[in-house]
């Protein structure tokens, strides 16, 4: 009997690739079935014969065959007369055809989104190009990945994944793995002055998930929300998606201007603030303003969302105690994240909520699905309880201080003719105002042409852009790279200013002619 016909020469398996070999074989055979190279009823080689042809283990072939059979692509007994299914579902055959565009024909169905979906789809953040987790000058928001102890982290994670007797393989971690909540409560209390127990901690899949959960639980369409101006775009997106009416409250050198907020809206439903290190300007909310904010929230019956995204990194004096620790009315929801202290892909954040919100938030997070994998939570608990978290943060504080000083020297040196730094005592990025003519969007574009990534500060405003500037990250950038990038940025800004000056007379003449 002749051997079954199969395009063996088209099967290319790479042991060094990411997917396991059985998955590579499964995908190759599935593609051959869907595009017709393996027709309905065609017989496949035995698992033993195909394994010999491809120089792989028989179990690898068996695993691929069994997966195809489970999905309905094969019929018959695996290893004994295995054939392509004689009647493939119509939907499988259609999968091989490219999708039609929305306007491809008269039967095309227009996209229909909810109001929330339409709002969320229109919110765009400034694009940052992250490559393999490594920073490029001067991206913001990215910690120094290369200094994270990945070998230690891998051992902790592997140990938890192998622990069959642990409590991480069921549904017991809805509000968060208890040892992790205990570690977070201890850290927030000791380092940030938060007043909480582990029961107040809700672990989330990052800060954005925490914002989304707060928006779902605290806001109805039309509710009015104070938000910092300029402020964090992620918070803007979460609250707009909930149908809230945003009230941009100006930020000055003392932080959120509470009096201005009261003049704009005396009875907000929710107040979002980054008091320890305002995003993006970097100022710290003064004690007088903190007390005024707490009083305003109490009188209005408003909730305060305190986003404490990178307060561990402070270079002058001791860290400022969090707003939540001052709140005797218990109206503050405190947010934290491990994206800045460890690495963004960890996707772990947390909320510390008042007593009366614990049970509702626990119930809601189960429905929202914002529950991080338990094994990762358990490994992080071991990382924190073993003292590694504190050690890592202290080490990075020293490294970031040196990189910050290097960037400050460049801003006071070759870049001083183009940028002036906004005062800031902490964080992983700085805000710098443009001193010359032109828009910051054009300046950012000019920098991008010189392979320098910056974010225009105007992107963080909802209303009128009062000042033009750039957001410059330094945490993930080694000092030699900072120095070279500063030179390229100087050249780019010099060219930008020249172009802005050249265009100014034409703009004035055009305006005069229209008048």
Over 90: is that where the pLDDT of 257 sits? yes
Over 80: is that where the pLDDT of 511 sits? no
Q: Report helix angle 58-70 to 47-54, nearest 10.
A: 120
Q: Is the peptide bond before 230 cis (omega within 30 degrees of 0)?
A: yes
What are the tens digits of pLDDT across the range 184-240?
999 999 999 999 999 999 999 999 999 999 999 999 999 999 999 999 999 999 999
Which pLDDT band holds residue 368 (cuts at 50, 70, 90)?
confident
Whole-number Å distance between alpha carbons of 210 and 143: 20
The answer to whether 175 and 365 are in contact (CB under 8 A) is yes
Task: Determine what percent of the chain is predicted with pLDDT higher than 70.
Answer: 85
CA 267 to each of CA 242, 250, 271, 300: distance values in angstroms, whole numbers, following the listed order? 18, 17, 10, 5
Over 60: is that where the pLDDT of 109 sits? no
Could you give the residue range(s) of every CATH 1.10.10.10 domain in the chain?
8-94
Which pLDDT band holds residue 133 (cuts at 50, 70, 90)?
very low
Which pLDDT band holds residue 78 (cuts at 50, 70, 90)?
low
- Burial letters 296-314, b for 16+ CB under 10 A, else e: bbeebebbbbbbbbbbbbb
Mean of all residue pLDDT scores within the chain: 84
Cα 413–Cα 284–Cα 352 angle in degrees, nearest 5 = 135
Whole-number Å distance between alpha carbons of 29 and 473: 47
Could you give the residue range(s) of every CATH 3.90.1150.10 domain in the chain?
391-514
Tokens of 194: 């938060």
Whole-number Å distance between alpha carbons of 68 and 88: 12
pLDDT at 88: 62
Whole-number Å distance between alpha carbons of 302 and 19: 50
Torsion of CA 342, 343, 346, 348, to 10 degrees: 60
Cα 444–Cα 119–Cα 221 angle in degrees, nearest 5 = 130
The answer to whether 399 and 392 are in contact (CB under 8 A) is no
- Give the SS3 label for residue 125: coil
Which pLDDT band holds residue 280 (cuts at 50, 70, 90)?
very high
Higher-confidence residue of 354 and 35: namely 354
Whole-number Å distance between alpha carbons of 329 and 323: 12
- Residues 484-497, mean pLDDT to the nearest whole number: 90
Highest mean pLDDT among 124-128, 260-264, 511-515: 260-264
- Residues 389-399, mean pLDDT to the nearest whole number: 95
Looking at 338-468, which runs of residues are DSSP E strands? 349-352, 419-421, 429-434, 455-456
pLDDT at 96: 43
The answer to whether 206 and 342 are in contact (CB under 8 A) is no
Whole-number Å distance between alpha carbons of 333 and 316: 26
pLDDT at 483: 94
- Which phi and psi (to 5°) does residue 126 adopt? -60, 135
What are the tens digits of pLDDT across the range 436-464?
877 899 999 999 888 899 999 999 999 87
The answer to whether 241 and 274 are in contact (CB under 8 A) is no
Closest CA to 271 of 257, 283, 286: 257
pLDDT at 135: 60
8-94 belongs to which CATH class?
mainly alpha
Could you give the residue range(s) of every CATH 3.40.640.10 domain in the chain?
167-386
Q: Which fold has domain 391-514?
A: 3.90.1150
- Residues 173-185, mean pLDDT to the nearest whole number: 92
Phi-psi region of 74 (alpha: psi -120 to 50; beta: other; left: phi over 0): beta
What are the tens digits of pLDDT across the range 43-53?
888 888 888 88
Closest CA to 393 of 317, 320, 311: 311
- Name the β-bridge partners of 305: 272, 333
DSSP letters spanning 485-508: HHHHHHHHHHHHHHHHHHHHHHHH
Whole-number Å distance between alpha carbons of 413 and 420: 11
In CATH terms, 167-386 corresponds, of 3.40.640.10, 3.30.710.10, 3.30.365.10, 3.40.710.10, to 3.40.640.10
Which pLDDT band holds residue 21 (cuts at 50, 70, 90)?
confident
Closest CA to 376 of 156, 93, 118: 156
Whole-number Å distance between alpha carbons of 466 and 230: 10
Whole-number Å distance between alpha carbons of 111 and 328: 48
Whole-number Å distance between alpha carbons of 193 and 174: 26
243-246 long-range Cβ contacts below 8 angstroms, 24+ apart:
243/115, 243/116, 243/119, 243/219, 244/215, 244/219, 244/269, 244/270, 246/462
Cα 405–Cα 407–Cα 411 angle in degrees, nearest 5 = 115
Looking at 80-125, which runs of residues are DSSP E strands? 80-84
pLDDT at 366: 86
Unique residue bearing structure tokens 């007390």: 291
Measured on CA atoms in the order 77, 80, 86, 90, is the torsion positive or negative?
positive
- Name the β-bridge partners of 456: 470
Highest mean pLDDT among 93-102, 161-170, 242-251: 242-251
Task: Determine what percent of the chain is predicted with pLDDT higher than 90.
Answer: 54
């Amino acid at each position: 009997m002749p051997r079954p016909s199969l395009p063996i020469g088209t099967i290319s398996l790479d042991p060094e690739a990411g997917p396991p070999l059985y998955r590579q074989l499964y995908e190759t055979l599935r593609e051959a079935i869907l595009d017709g190279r393996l027709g309905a009823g065609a017989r496949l080689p035995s698992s033993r014969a195909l394994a010999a042809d491809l120089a792989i283990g028989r179990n690898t072939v068996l695993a691929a065959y069994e997966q195809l059979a489970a999905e309905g692509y094969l019929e018959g007994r695996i290893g004994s007369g295995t054939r392509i299914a004689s009647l493939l579902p119509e939907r499988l055959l259609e999968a091989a055809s490219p999708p039609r565009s929305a306007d491809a024909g008269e039967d095309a169905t227009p996209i229909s989104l909810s109001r929330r979906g339409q709002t969320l789809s229109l919110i765009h953040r400034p694009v940052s190009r992250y490559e393999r987790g490594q920073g490029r000058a001067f991206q913001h928001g990215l910690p120094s990945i290369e200094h994270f102890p990945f070998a230690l982290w891998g051992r902790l994670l592997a140990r938890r994944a192998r622990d069959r007797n642990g409590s991480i393989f069921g549904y017991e971690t809805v509000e968060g793995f208890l040892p992790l909540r205990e570690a977070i409560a201890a850290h927030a209390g000791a380092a940030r002055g938060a007043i909480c127990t582990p029961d107040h901690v809700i672990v989330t899949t990052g800060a954005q998930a925490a914002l989304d959960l707060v928006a779902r639980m605290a806001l109805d369409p039309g509710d009015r929300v104070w938000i910092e101006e300029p402020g964090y775009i992620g918070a803007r997106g979460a609250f707009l998606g909930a149908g809230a009416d945003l009230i941009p409250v100006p930020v000055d050198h003392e932080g959120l201007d509470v009096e201005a907020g009261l003049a704009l809206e005396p009875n907000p439903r929710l107040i979002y603030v980054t008091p320890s290190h305002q995003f993006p300007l970097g100022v710290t909310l003064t004690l007088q303003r903190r007390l005024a904010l707490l009083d305003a929230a109490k009188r209005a019956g408003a909730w305060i969302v305190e986003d404490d995204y990178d307060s561990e990194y402070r270079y002058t004096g001791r860290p400022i105690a969090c707003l939540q620790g001052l709140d005797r009315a218990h109206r503050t929801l405190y947010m934290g994240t491990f994206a800045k202290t460890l690495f963004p892909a960890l996707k772990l954040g947390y909320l510390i909520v008042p007593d009366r919100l614990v049970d509702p938030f626990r119930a809601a997070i189960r429905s929202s699905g914002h529950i991080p994998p338990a094994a990762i939570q358990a490994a992080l608990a071991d990382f924190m309880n073993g003292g590694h978290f504190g050690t890592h943060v202290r080490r990075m504080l020293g490294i970031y201080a040196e990189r910050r000083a290097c960037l400050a020297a460049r801003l006071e040196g070759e870049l001083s003719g183009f940028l002036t730094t906004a005062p800031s005592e902490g964080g992983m990025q700085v805000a710098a105002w443009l001193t010359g003519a032109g828009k910051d969007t054009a300046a950012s574009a000019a920098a991008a042409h010189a392979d320098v990534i910056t974010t225009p500060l105007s992107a963080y405003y909802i209303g009128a852009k009062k000042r033009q500037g750039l957001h410059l990250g330094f945490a993930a950038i080694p000092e030699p790279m900072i120095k070279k990038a500063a030179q390229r940025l100087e050249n780019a800004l010099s060219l930008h200013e020249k172009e802005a000056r050249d265009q100014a007379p034409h703009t004035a003449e055009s305006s005069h002619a229209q008048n």
